[in-house]
Amino acid sequence: MDRVDASAEQMTPAAADGHQVPESIDILKIMQSIPHRYPFLLIDKMVEIHAGQSAIGIKNVTVNEPFFQGHFPSHPVMPGVLIVEAMAQTAATLVVMTLGAAFEGKLVYFMTIENAKFRRPVGPGDQLRIHVDKERSRANVWKFKGIARVDGVAVAEATFSAMIMG
């Protein structure tokens, strides 16, 4: 049996093929869903998962992040491109959770990134709450709107599309 958070006992409505999708998942289920690993796995947990529609990814930003060694040692700032990557990982995990076990570990490739905006720096001690909402999907191409927030304040946003390789 897969390990999920205690709150995952509540399930969201069934995905398209009828399998149940938990409302939240832990890092082990994320790692089962997408192939990313340290140091490039940029989400720690997902909550408020709504199959085929939306989810929130959580990234706890710590001073131990490898990118802070060079960006910037005296004033650590999480690179904006990594925030967009965290949005994509949240969306990819949502897609895999929606499509089911046959898609676990499949590669997902960016196709477009549009209207990326970075509103304030993210640093050690911040918790990113990465909201992704599906705008549309057709076959294996999905388009999402992502907004990353710290303490309820938007710090970055982007619209992006990706293709899952099945």
Active site residues: 71
CA distance 143 to 113: 10
CA atoms of 144 and 159, how far apart (whole Å): 6
| Element at 31 (helix H, strand E) | helix 27-33
Q: Is the separation of the CB atoms in 38 and 44 below 8 Å?
A: no
80 in helix, strand or coil? helix
Residues 44, 7: Cα–Cα separation, whole Å: 15
3-class state of residue 83 by DSSP: helix
Structure tokens that stand for 83 in this block? 């925030």
- Tell me the CB-side half-sphere exposure of residue 77, using CA atoms within 13 A: 11
3-state secondary structure at position 19: coil
